[in-house]
């Protein structure tokens, strides 16, 4: 049996997404910057995709900029805000994705900003009182707090963060890569300056994402070259990826409630089965369903002789899971998120992340395999 429980790293392509991308590859090969008929045809489908995305997010098409993915979008929002919006101070959390954390650390190292880390509690929740305190002591601050943590699934109340940022005239950016396509994002209701998305996290293609820039913010490109993306990102557009991104998000919004109920049910079921099979497991992060991303479950298992080889052993058994963020899966130093939570480093931690394609039978197989591995090597 082959089981894929690493959907926070990437998701399988939706068949309808493959279909629209294939059609575009076959029929729309022109360069969207060309002014002839072939170019105009491709420009039309790119702009149609932009309008689809904007309508779903309740934004203006002029506020949507296509990128190579979430990392580029995060970098663009951070670096250009510091340069163009007069930012001297930034706030983030020690649990942020490295696309944010490393970028801000580099900006501080170069002397461009002072960086502050907001406190988190033992479950990884952001201390909003401390955020307010940090903002009160620093003018013109850039705040970057992700909507949902990619490793432990904690949800941050970005609407509350937005209200605090407005109070102190701070610029607010949120990495929404893990929640895009899984929750409704209404940008008429959420007052925010920047959000980011990556298609491959919601059954779209890899190598394409977007940055939402609130119209009140005027920044310059991160990547210079041609006049693509209304002079905001040089380089020929990834047309087929853009088409796939828009279709994937459109499909997510159509059946979001159904998929959320199914996936939350799988997560709850797995928590119960793991607790029965392996007493003493610990759930990393916030275990409250209303405050946790329903697609992610991170657990610390009992100590075992094969702790360092657990993910490899699961792989041999036909189970794909992760020990943390897939973007740093080759790192020997482990997860910065779990270190920040002071998790027991002697206990192996596994992130299981779900999609609409997973089943209870797969959960049963994973729990049975984990139980056997832990009992045979305790």
Residue positions annotated with a catalytic role: 327
- Sequence-distant (6+) residues with CB within 8 A of 358 are 3, 4, 5, 7, 263, 266
Cα–Cα–Cα angle for 328, 324, 211, rounded to 5 degrees: 65
């Amino acid at each position: 049996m082959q089981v894929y429980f690493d959907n926070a790293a990437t998701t399988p392509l939706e068949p309808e997404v493959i279909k629209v991308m294939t059609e575009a590859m076959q029929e729309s090969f022109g360069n969207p910057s060309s002014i002839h008929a072939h170019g105009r045809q491709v420009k039309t489908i790119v702009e149609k995709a932009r309008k689809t995305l904007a309508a779903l997010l309740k934004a203006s098409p002029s506020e949507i900029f296509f990128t190579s993915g979430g990392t580029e979008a995060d970098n663009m929002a951070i670096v250009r805000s510091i340069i163009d919006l007069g930012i001297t101070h930034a706030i983030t959390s020690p649990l942020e994705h490295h696309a944010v954390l490393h970028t801000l650390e580099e900006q501080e190292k170069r002397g461009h900003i002072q960086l502050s880390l907001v406190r988190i509690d033992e479950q990884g929740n952001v201390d909003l009182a401390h955020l307010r305190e940090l903002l009160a002591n620093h003018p013109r601050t850039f705040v970057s707090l992700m909507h949902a943590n990619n490793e432990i699934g904690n949800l941050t109340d970005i609407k509350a963060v937005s209200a605090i940022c407005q109070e102190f005239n701070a610029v607010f950016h949120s990495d929404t890569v893990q929640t895009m396509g899984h929750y409704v994002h209404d940008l008429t209701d959420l007052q925010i300056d920047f959000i980011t998305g990556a298609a491959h996290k919601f059954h779209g293609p890899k190598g394409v994402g977007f940055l939402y820039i609130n119209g009140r913010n005027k920044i310059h490109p991160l990547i210079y070259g041609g006049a693509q993306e209304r002079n905001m990102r040089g380089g020929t557009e990834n047309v087929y990826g853009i088409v796939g991104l828009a279709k994937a998000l459109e499909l997510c919004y159509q059946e979001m409630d159904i998929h959320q109920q199914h996936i939350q049910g799988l997560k709850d079921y797995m928590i119960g089965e793991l607790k029965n099979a392996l007493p003493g497991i610990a759930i990393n992060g916030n275990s409250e369903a209303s405050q946790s991303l329903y697609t992610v479950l991170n657990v610390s298992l009992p100590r075992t002789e094969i702790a360092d080889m657990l993910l490899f052993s699961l792989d041999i058994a036909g189970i794909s899971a992760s020990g943390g963020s897939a973007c740093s899966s080759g790192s020997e130093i482990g997860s910065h998120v779990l270190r920040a939570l002071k998790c027991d480093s002697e206990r192996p931690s596994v992130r299981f992340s779900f999609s609409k394609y997973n089943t209870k039978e797969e959960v049963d197989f994973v729990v049975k395999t984990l139980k056997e591995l832990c009992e045979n090597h305790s």
